[in-house]
Amino acid sequence: MTIAGQFRNVASDPISLDVPPVTVVLRHGLDLVEELSRKLQMLDALMLTGKPNDISDAAATIEAALKAAAPSFAEIADTMGRLGASNLAAAAAQLRKIEEEDAAGLAEALRVALSRFAKKSVSANRRAQQLNRGLNAALKSLQALGVQESGRLIAEA
């Protein structure tokens, strides 16, 4: 009795060759979220300084970092799909079932980091809206005083 041909060769499977280990994907995602959080914290602090050029540069940096991170986040979503999980908490539970404690810990850490990033993002967005309302009110006051919309003061605001 021969068993040739009954099993697929895992090493030659093109899907398994292209798919990085779950721990690698989750570690990379966690590193990205932590870096984005640092940049967001810096932007939030800059908004308190009132330096518009620095604020604009920091916001552009975050926007570029988010665009650059999009493929990594898509890879995390694909990884969760392969695990049959709809979110990171379910992914962590699934990884614990298959005794992948390191990956489960990373999934949980990534979930917590994303939660903190979301809260910081809401806070920074709120601060930006307040800053914008303040600038608009100041510009309207200047216009009411007869200052034209051209010139250095308006351009810097």
Tell whether the model's pLDDT for residue 124 goes beyond 50. Answer: yes
Residue 129 included in any domain: no
Q: What percent of the chain has pLDDT over 90?
A: 41
Looking at residue 143, its pLDDT comes to 73
Residue 32 included in any domain: yes
Looking at residue 36, its pLDDT comes to 93
Burial of 9 (0-12, 13-18, 19+ CB in 10 A): exposed
Tell whether the model's pLDDT for residue 139 goes beyond 60. Answer: yes
Residue 113 included in any domain: yes
Rounded to two decimals, the pTM is 0.71
Mean pLDDT of 16-37: 85
Tell whether the model's pLDDT for residue 25 goes beyond 50. Answer: yes
Q: Are the C-beta atoms of 139 and 157 separated by less than 8 Å?
A: yes
Count up the domains in the chain and report the number. Answer: 1
